[in-house]
Amino acid sequence: MSGWDHPDPFVQGFRVLPEHIDILEHANNTVYAHWCQDVAWRHSGHLGMPPSAYLELDRAMALRSAHYEYLLPALLHEEIDAGTWLVASDGRLNMRRHFQLRRASDGATLLRGDWELVCIRISTGRPTRMPPEFIACYQPAVIGG
């Protein structure tokens, strides 16, 4: 698929529903963030690390910071393709995820986003090294990694 920021995105489709529309008559900014979160969880599950595995390991990749660049509005009933990639990981504590949301009809990019993630122990909320299961699952998926 051409027009993506990186090759081979993990893609999930969404449709802009009436409940997504705000006073400006387009999808509210929080909806874009929700779509990013949803595609990130589905990508993790696709890689073999669903939420249940996080709980079993008492570890999670928690959001440290998020940056979103809103480029174009998503309008009622439009089909949206959300793509994501793991773009960096130190294999110890930190990982970075990139997002691109595109309008399906013409491929126009609506949003670009980046998350900085840190591995935490769920039971304490404190940063901790990635368990071997995270490294085995995520490291091969890091693009260019």
Domains of the chain (ranges, CATH numbers):
10-141 (3.10.129.10)
DSSP state, 144?
A: T
| Amino acid 79: pLDDT | 98
Output the average pLDDT for the chain: 97
Q: Given a cut of 80, is residue 22 above it in pLDDT?
A: yes
Listed residue (104, 85, 80, 82) closest to 7, CA to CA? 85
Concatenated DSSP letters of 43-79: HHHHHT--HHHHHHHTEEEEEEEEEEEE-SPPPTT-E
Flag whether pLDDT at 1 surpasses 60. Answer: no
3-class DSSP state of 90: coil
pLDDT digits (tens, 9 = 90+) for 87-123: 999 999 999 999 999 999 999 999 999 999 999 999 9
pLDDT given at position 2: 83
How much of the chain is helix, strand and coil, in % rounded to 5? 25, 40, 35
Q: Is the pLDDT score of 139 beyond 90?
A: yes
